[in-house]
Chain A
Amino acid sequence: MVRFCTSVLIMVLLFVALTMSGCNQAKDDAIHIGVIAELTGDIPAVGASCKNAAEMAVKAVNDTGGIDIGGKKYPLKLQIEDSAGRSDQAASAAQKLITRDKVIAIIGPNASSGAIPASEIAETSKVPLISPWSTNPKTTLDPRTGKQKTYVFRACYMDSFQGRVLAAFAMGELKAKRAAVLYDVASEVLKGQAEVFKATFEEKGGAITGFETYTTGNKDFTVQMTKIKNDNPDLIFLPTYYSDVPLQVQQARRFGMNVPILGSDAWGSHDLLGLCGKDCDGSYFSSHFSANSTAPGVKKFVDDYKALYGSIPDDVAALTYDSFGILFEAMRKSGKPASEDIKNAIQKITGFQGVTGTITFHEGSGDPEKSVVILQIKDGEFKWFADIKP
């Protein structure tokens, strides 16, 4: 009886705690903005970058006295929730932000597995959600109608878009006619990139000589590399994670293949440079963001971020920063601080100058039109090579 009562008491107390949480808000005129980030779980680095950039963006606005909507200045209040990288927790975080914290808009989650269920909740609750980093086409798509969701946006380009641009880049700038592809079949993102690249490349008259796969964790690529070499391609496309890239490039070079190697945004970690050394020199990869880009605003963003957090901002930080930029721009133009008006304003954004490129939204689509940054690895550094416009 004692144990029963104790455990019932604990459960009741927990529920009460849950009921009370988030109820102690002061009734001020601050506008609440929610962030869902992967602070714990398997990609905490993504969550940390997102949180850093979010706090920096909001602080910058609050330092000027708040955001100017319809002639009135509103201070901003940031509410950051953890998704732990899990679908269910991303959903409950979104539901909490909307129901409890009464946020006007949500930035995040970054991982598509969290962004999709969170976007379902945002859409039904009519609260705009901008995912900085979710590249899965299904995030902005309503699967039941096949149309785009109206309240869900993203700040990055999609895999399909990236694959198309990379194929164009390979045939144009790199003059490749025969390309081989090796990709990680266990990753949704990489698989998508490989498939779109193949389709576009073949459509434009190129030939895919090999379309090889492996799965996360494989360390030996000799079988695949032997096949690739036999077909004698003039370019290798490696949509693989940065941790696998060094081994693959080294094994390709050992087989005597000195053709250009092209990667995707999955290469974008500074760890790659140390692991790969000279072997990766001269390779290209696509990115959302380059810290040494000459585009306006980038230098200030990088310097400010470095001053605050002591590191160079990565893709996620830059995309989060741009997500806030888009949101602020829309809020200023919305006329009144309401979710509905902000959503309408986001849809009308054209030529927004972000740190990851120029961003334009079209009515009826949550996917932006923006340029792809191509980087080259040179002398142990990522060097900005080109901005490829679609």
Chain B
Amino acid sequence: MTTAPSAIHKLSLFWDALMSRRWPLFLLVAIGFIASILVSRYNLIDQYLELVAMYVGINIILALSLNLVNGYMGEFSVGHAGFMAVGAYGASILTVKVFAPAAGVWIFPLAIIAGGVLAAVAAVVVAIPSFRTRGDYLAIVTLSFNMIVKSVLENVDVVGGPRGFLGMEKLTTLPWTFAWTVVSVWAIRNFVYSNIGRGVLSIREDEMAGAAMGVDTRKVKLHAFVVSSFFAGVAGGLYAHLLQFISPRTFDILKSTEILIMVYLGGVGSIAGSITGAVIYTVLIEALRVLGMWRMVIMPLLLVLLMIYRPKGIFGFTEFRWFKPIAAKKGDGAIVPYMAASEPRRPTPGDELLTINGLTHYFGGLCALSDFNLKLDSGQIMGIIGPNGSGKTTLFNLISGYYRPSRGNVVFNGVEITRLRPNEINAQGIARTFQNIRLFNNLTVEDNVKVGMFNAVNYNAADAMVRTRSFIKREKYVSARVLALLELFALDKYAKELAKNLPYGQKRRLEIVRALATRPRLLLLDEPAAGMNPSETGALMELVHRIRDEFQLTVMVIEHHMSFIMGLCERITVLDFGVAIAGGAPEQIKDDKKVIEAYLGSSGSKNYRGGQ
């Protein structure tokens, strides 16, 4: 071995050691903070550089806060400058109009927080329409919000109207900017790597699947918007007290676009990305001054090139290791058996678990399900079969809350769940899988299952952001349980793998594990054996039996593989054109004339023996 590679090897080992520990980061932050104090106290760098450095800090906060909504949650907000404006005006009114200028220095941090809080309140207004709209529609909602804020400010004379508001002391200094930037990075990073953060990611990956796993999408969206806007407001307050002048025009669509550029340049869904994007954008704009008017062409050009060659931005969906949670070491935390002692009492087998009365659903004029009735006892495995389009998946969607039935009701474990939202139904104890696998593709296997434990967590967003003890305790519990679950299904070796990289069969299995993590009493499996060969199907059959027994489940399964259904189910219901045409034990169904007709037409072959 030559010396050169070993030196590189040593260096990379040293690097690894640095990256996998937290203290170098803390040290760096401390050095940075002290440096920022010294620099501004003794004018170590000229004021121009200092100004640009403060712009960088403010822009990092802005990019991070927008990244939370656009990158992590996958929504498309284009009016972020609106929140910034609310924070800027809010903080400025406090320092200029409410408190004496002399008190400014002391009141400044409070004013910044108040600006953030005001922006967060404004966010609630935007979050509510976002419950229903996504993508383009939400973009329009946020765009309108931006314009409304600007117009309102133009018409309020107390804050200068269109002429702008001034009179702020220059309270934003380098140390303050540095401190706020660090706080923002820390809080948003903590928010993202928490239970609610996983909820945010599940919305980006697949909102419907997230809701089915018990994620309260409304609560999550509201939280994400509020946190994001709070920091946009903080950035606004800092900006106002740096320039000592704000006008409604400062916070127009162009400002929002600037933030968007920083986010997409640096990379969506990445803290490191937001920091990089903000630094490059801000410094480049200044460094390119020599180019005169061409400099404003360079930035968009850079972005176009980036979008062609690296559509997710420099750091898209990847994270710098310092920002990721430190991986739990083997033996960390107690091994939690899957069935914890605190499990709620499950209904004893024989109890009636699910009752469906006269469930009817129309798609426009088409009757997808007509007057469906069912009584399902606890502990049973029940199959639903029927030709394509006979209403099987519609039935599942009605039970799990995706559709509101036109008529009829569903009672689960003594609770009427007909009008509940999918996540509420999940919380009642119903979990499901999907016909076309709907995993959170860009999350790891581990995180997929952790999303399933969304409701098993009792800390709130504030706990997550400051990492309280209850957070640490609960996260340890969640990690241990998820690992135990994965081990149980032989998926633990894939724990850190992205779900999209799993082989097909494992994806099916993971979807079941994710559903189990929600601790259901009733599991709805929608064509779990689709695309499997006979030996895989056999293994799946065994698996379903096993989980029914081990997890004390009741199972409803839709399948086309007759051998699977016949071998697995204790009861079968046959649907045809939305009507239940037969029901009973597998043997009865096999010989039912109506069933054979439905599958093979009225002149059906007598030899039909359900998949034999």
Does B609 count as interface, using CB distance less than 8 angstroms? no
Selected from B167, B249, B280, the residue in CB contact (under 8 A) with A144 is B167
A87 touching B245 in the complex, CB below 8 Å, given contacts A39-B293, A144-B169: yes
- Whether the Cβ atoms of A99 and B52 lie closer than 8 Å is no
Interface string of A1-37 (1 = CB under 8 A from B): 1011001001100110111010000000000000000
- Whether the Cβ atoms of B276 and A11 lie closer than 8 Å is yes
B263-298 residues at the A interface, CB under 8 angstroms? 272, 276, 279-280, 283-287, 289-290, 292-293, 295-296
- Whether the Cβ atoms of A18 and B49 lie closer than 8 Å is yes
- Whether the Cβ atoms of B314 and A18 lie closer than 8 Å is no
Does A89 count as interface, using CB distance less than 8 angstroms? yes
Q: How far is the CB of A48 from chain B (nearest CB, A)?
A: 9
CB contacts (< 8 Å) of A143 on chain B: these are 166-167
- Whether the Cβ atoms of B169 and A95 lie closer than 8 Å is no
Does B332 count as interface, using CB distance less than 8 angstroms? no
Selected from A44, A116, A187, the residue in CB contact (under 8 A) with B164 is A116
- Whether the Cβ atoms of A187 and B320 lie closer than 8 Å is no
- B interface, size bucket: 35 or more
Selected from A89, A95, A136, A138, the residue in CB contact (under 8 A) with B47 is A95
- Whether the Cβ atoms of B48 and A192 lie closer than 8 Å is no
Alpha-carbon separation in the docked complex, A19 to B245 (Å): 26
Interface string of B228-256 (1 = CB under 8 A from A): 00000000000100011111011000100
Most buried by B among A7, A21, A40, A120: A7
Does A126 count as interface, using CB distance less than 8 angstroms? no
- Interface residue stretch chosen among B155-163, B183-191, B359-367, B423-431: B155-163
Does B584 count as interface, using CB distance less than 8 angstroms? no
Does A91 count as interface, using CB distance less than 8 angstroms? yes
Query: Which of chain A's residues has its CB closest to B291's CB?
Result: A82
- Whether the Cβ atoms of B52 and A92 lie closer than 8 Å is yes
B106-147 residues at the A interface, CB under 8 angstroms? none
- Whether the Cβ atoms of B285 and A89 lie closer than 8 Å is yes
CB contacts (< 8 Å) of B26 on chain A: these are none
Does A113 count as interface, using CB distance less than 8 angstroms? yes
Q: How far is the CB of B94 from chain A (nearest CB, A)?
A: 16
Does B32 count as interface, using CB distance less than 8 angstroms? no
- Whether the Cβ atoms of A18 and B239 lie closer than 8 Å is no
A229-266 residues at the B interface, CB under 8 angstroms? none
Alpha-carbon separation in the docked complex, A4 to B151 (Å): 42
Q: How far is the CB of A67 from chain B (nearest CB, A)?
A: 25
CB contacts (< 8 Å) of B154 on chain A: these are 185-186
Interface string of B26-61 (1 = CB under 8 A from A): 000000000000000000011111011001000000
Q: How far is the CB of B326 from chain A (nearest CB, A)?
A: 17
Alpha-carbon separation in the docked complex, A41 to B51 (Å): 21
CB contacts (< 8 Å) of A7 on chain B: these are 272, 276, 314-315
CB contacts (< 8 Å) of A81 on chain B: these are 289
Alpha-carbon separation in the docked complex, A82 to B293 (Å): 7
A188 touching B290 in the complex, CB below 8 Å, given contacts A1-B12, A14-B284: no
Interface string of A73-101 (1 = CB under 8 A from B): 00000001110101111011101101110
Does B101 count as interface, using CB distance less than 8 angstroms? yes
Alpha-carbon separation in the docked complex, A14 to B286 (Å): 9
Alpha-carbon separation in the docked complex, A95 to B243 (Å): 11
Does A108 count as interface, using CB distance less than 8 angstroms? no
Does B15 count as interface, using CB distance less than 8 angstroms? yes
Does A357 count as interface, using CB distance less than 8 angstroms? no
- Whether the Cβ atoms of B287 and A18 lie closer than 8 Å is yes
Does A293 count as interface, using CB distance less than 8 angstroms? no
Does A354 count as interface, using CB distance less than 8 angstroms? no
- Whether the Cβ atoms of B245 and A120 lie closer than 8 Å is yes
- Whether the Cβ atoms of A117 and B272 lie closer than 8 Å is no
Query: Which of chain B's residues has its CB closest to A124's CB?
Result: B170
Query: Which of chain B's residues has its CB closest to A5's CB?
Result: B15
A117 touching B243 in the complex, CB below 8 Å, given contacts A88-B55, A186-B162: yes
Alpha-carbon separation in the docked complex, A80 to B290 (Å): 10
A154-210 residues at the B interface, CB under 8 angstroms? 185-188, 191-192
CB contacts (< 8 Å) of A192 on chain B: these are 163
CB contacts (< 8 Å) of A112 on chain B: these are 163-164
CB contacts (< 8 Å) of B272 on chain A: these are 4, 7
CB contacts (< 8 Å) of A215 on chain B: these are 151
Query: Which of chain A's residues has its CB closest to B101's CB?
Result: A144
Alpha-carbon separation in the docked complex, A14 to B278 (Å): 12
Query: Which of chain B's residues has its CB closest to A143's CB?
Result: B167
CB contacts (< 8 Å) of A86 on chain B: these are 250, 254
CB contacts (< 8 Å) of A125 on chain B: these are 47
Alpha-carbon separation in the docked complex, A201 to B498 (Å): 73
Interface string of B418-458 (1 = CB under 8 A from A): 00000000000000000000000000000000000000000
Q: How far is the CB of A34 from chain B (nearest CB, A)?
A: 12
- Whether the Cβ atoms of B49 and A188 lie closer than 8 Å is no
- Whether the Cβ atoms of B292 and A95 lie closer than 8 Å is no
Interface string of B1-39 (1 = CB under 8 A from A): 000000000001001000000000000000000000000
Alpha-carbon separation in the docked complex, A151 to B160 (Å): 23
- Whether the Cβ atoms of B283 and A14 lie closer than 8 Å is yes
Alpha-carbon separation in the docked complex, A296 to B212 (Å): 81
- Whether the Cβ atoms of A87 and B250 lie closer than 8 Å is yes
A92 touching B15 in the complex, CB below 8 Å, given contacts A87-B245, A113-B247, A188-B164: no
A188 touching B47 in the complex, CB below 8 Å, given contacts A11-B280, A18-B287, A88-B243: no
A95 touching B48 in the complex, CB below 8 Å, given contacts A14-B287, A81-B289, A191-B161: yes
Q: Which 8 A-B pairs have the closest CB atoms?
A: A188-B162, A143-B167, A99-B48, A40-B296, A14-B283, A188-B163, A39-B293, A117-B243
27 contacts between A and B (CB under 8 A): A3-B315, A7-B272, A17-B283, A18-B49, A18-B52, A18-B283, A19-B45, A19-B49, A21-B289, A21-B290, A40-B295, A86-B254, A89-B285, A91-B51, A92-B51, A92-B52, A92-B286, A96-B289, A98-B47, A99-B48, A113-B249, A138-B164, A144-B101, A186-B151, A186-B154, A186-B162, A192-B163
Q: Known pairs A95-B51, A188-B161, A215-B151. 12 more at Cβ < 8 A?
A: A7-B276, A15-B283, A19-B45, A39-B292, A91-B243, A92-B48, A92-B55, A93-B289, A95-B48, A99-B48, A143-B166, A185-B155
Which residues of A are at the interface with B, using a C-beta cutoff of 8 A?
1, 3-4, 7, 10-11, 14-15, 17-19, 21, 39-42, 44, 80-82, 84, 86-89, 91-93, 95-96, 98-100, 112-113, 116-117, 120, 124-125, 136-138, 143-144, 185-188, 191-192, 215
